[in-house]
Amino acid sequence: MSDIGLPARRSAIFLLDQIIGEGKLMSELIGSGVLDRLDPADRARAQRLATETLRSMERADRILQRHLQKYPPLTVRNALRVGTVELCQGEAAHGVVNAMVGLISKHKRYGHLKGLVNAVLRKVADKGPEQWPNLRTPRLPKWLRGPLVEAWGGETVLGIEAGHYAAVPLDLTPKADATAVAKATGGTVLPTGSVRLTEAGQVSNLPGFTSGDWWVQDAAAAIPARVLDVKPGEKVLDLCAAPGGKTMQLAATDADVTAVDISNGRMERVAQNLVRTQLSATTRVADVFDLTGQYDAILLDAPCSATGTIRRHPDLPFAKDGSEFGMLIELQGRMLDHALTLLKPGGRMVFCTCSLLPDEGEVQIEEALARHPDLSVDRAALDVPGVDPAWITEEGGLRLRPDLWAELGHMDGFYVAALQKS
């Protein structure tokens, strides 16, 4: 049997085993080098197969349930899932079935289940592709779906799930001229000024990458820095800065920017991005709570559940269960309080999280206002191009969700609030 496609499929199954079985995030796995031995094409294919399988997990399981009397061990089940997704999305049955049978037959513990894999995937190949489009859009797990339905309502959550399942475009933040970047890359300028590409290919091969004309950043993630609206020469602090998209936005204004992150490795990436884009900022590896000084403006992108990024990171609902969210919510409040001590009187701060949970957004700001009498919300700061006034919430923040911009390709979930210190 040919080995074509086997390394990528084997690695995709391994990624799924680690995410579902061990609770590891794909970014952590890839960052630790688990795919480094693959050639670039197989590396990209393994990540794509794992991502598509996670995004389509509910559909794959519904197809497989029709052909399984009981669930096999996780590795075998993940091989069946990857195979089902490939078959139902149009891959040739012969190649997929042979590849998965071959991979399981060589497994030390589960080789005896190769016959099961062969029989099930042949049945999937027969009926699965016609059944696939009739299955519902995959839903979030109950531990997350319940709180979101309570917060936003069932219809909105269905829209969020549709955004998670839709193809994810690539968004670029231009250093200067959005129209020029769109023309060079074949993208479209979004209402907020980001450039969106529906079929990007290899990012490093796109025009303007080497010259640093843009950087990859979801359109929603680019809004907080626009809300902060820093001016040339202002002393600006970017907290929890990695991977650096907001840092580069701030630096492009010719402000005096200090970017801080607790991770040395992540801060190296910020520094690399600044070099590529020929932008200048001071980078520091430090704990937020150790910082002193006074700044005109602060951007705090606080650590959070990252539930707003599931459309691009579908592993999160499978690797996490919500048990750590309480700790994160408490940390956000403490970070916000300390950041205010670094803000000059009359200064302004943007607090943001890439979360869909009100406890990590709206509630944080309501409680911060109650703790700090000298703090107010600046609603006028949210009046930036492309921001719909309907997105502004009762307490004066900005709520972005994946169900928004459905006609444009959706966006990540974010909460953004502009704060003014008297």
pLDDT at 3: 59
pLDDT at 218 (0 to 100) = 97
| pLDDT of the residue at 43 | 95
The whole-number pLDDT of residue 200 equals 82
CATH superfamily of 218-421: Vaccinia Virus protein VP39 (3.40.50.150)
Confidence of residue 202 (pLDDT cuts 50, 70, 90): confident
Which pLDDT score, from 0 to 100, does residue 320 have? 94
Say yes or no to pLDDT of 1 above 50.
Answer: no
- Asked if 354 is an active-site residue, the reply is yes
Question: How much of the chain, in percent, has pLDDT values that exceed 90?
Answer: 98
For the record, the structure tokens of 179 come out as: 């129209």
In this predicted structure, the answer to whether residue 297 has a pLDDT above a threshold of 70 is: yes
- CA 330 remoteness from chain centre: 22
pLDDT in tens, 122-169: 999 999 999 999 999 999 999 999 999 999 999 999 999 999 999 999
Averaged over 380-392, what is the pLDDT? 97
Query: Domain 6-134 has what CATH class?
Result: mainly alpha
**Per residue in 228-273, pLDDT tens?**
999 999 999 999 999 999 999 999 999 999 999 999 999 999 999 9
Q: Which of 88, 240, 304, 354 is catalytic?
A: 354
| pLDDT bracket for residue 201 (50, 70, 90) | confident
Contact 347, 339 (CB under 8 A): no
Quick check: 181 pLDDT over 90?
A: yes
Q: Is 419 helix (H, G, I), strand (E, B) or coil?
A: strand
Up-side HSE of residue 107: CA atoms within 13 Å toward CB?
22
Query: pTM of the predicted model, to two decimals?
Result: 0.94
Q: Is it true that the peptide bond before 232 is cis, omega within 30 degrees of 0?
A: no
Say what the pLDDT of residue 2 is: 45
User: For residue 377, what are the contacts with CB-CB under 8 A and spacing of at least 6?
Assistant: 365, 369, 395, 396, 397, 417, 418, 419, 420
Domain ranges of the chain: 6-134, 218-421
Element (H, E) at 155: helix 154-165
pLDDT of residue 5: 83
